[in-house]
């Protein structure tokens, strides 16, 4: 859906100046701009850009936290201390965010979904393979049965 700067600001609950800042940061523009021309945006593209930008910012924060904790040296962390638990939590959050991003970008797929799809495909292939002897027996009527089996 094409929207102008004001409509986009209303969608995000942000100011027009924020939209201008986002545009300077690389937010996609559909068309327009320049002197006296209204800038139009594709709302779907902008929402996608915003989500990716938000994920990158969150990943960067988590990455920085992990680096800070690694600098504190993992060997210095004692199990049961607040620093150790914070380190474990931050690492788990970073791993979860990376997995979520990989899932969102279709780099990984849920195991249950793969199992379901592969079982359906195997069923289809099995029914096709089961029908081959019937079709072959019609084509090779003059052949003996032991020739068809081997």
pLDDT tens track of the chain, all 150 residues?
A: 888 889 989 988 999 899 889 888 889 888 877 777 888 898 889 999 889 888 888 888 888 888 877 776 666 777 888 888 888 888 899 999 999 998 888 888 888 888 999 999 998 999 888 877 777 666 666 666 665 565
149: exposed, middle or buried (Cβ count in 10 Å: 0-12, 13-18, 19+): exposed
Could you please report the per-residue DSSP string of the chain?
-EEEHHHHHHHHT--HHHHHHHHHTT----B--STTPPPEEEHHHHHHHHHHHHHHHHHHHHHHHHHHHHHT-GGGPPTTSHHHHHHHHHHHHHHHHHHHHHHHTTSS--HHHHHHHHHHHHHHHHHHHHHHHHHHHHHTTTS-HHHHH-
CA–CA separation, 29 and 46 (whole Å)? 8
pTM: 0.46
CA–CA separation, 137 and 140 (whole Å)? 5
């Amino acid at each position: 859906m094409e929207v102008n700067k004001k409509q986009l600001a209303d969608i995000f609950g942000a100011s027009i100046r924020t939209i201008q800042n986002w545009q300077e940061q690389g937010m996609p523009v559909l068309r327009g701009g320049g002197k006296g021309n209204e800038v139009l945006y594709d709302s779907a593209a902008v929402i996608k850009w915003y989500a990716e930008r938000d994920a990158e910012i969150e990943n960067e924060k988590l990455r920085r936290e992990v680096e800070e904790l690694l600098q504190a040296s993992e060997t210095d962390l004692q199990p049961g201390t607040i620093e150790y638990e914070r380190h474990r939590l931050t690492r788990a959050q970073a791993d979860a965010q990376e997995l979520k991003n990989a899932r969102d970008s279709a780099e990984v797929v849920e195991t249950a979904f793969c199992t379901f799809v592969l079982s359906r495909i195997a069923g289809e292939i099995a029914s096709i393979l089961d029908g081959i002897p019937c079709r072959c027996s019609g084509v090779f009527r003059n052949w003996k049965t032991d020739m068809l089996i081997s």
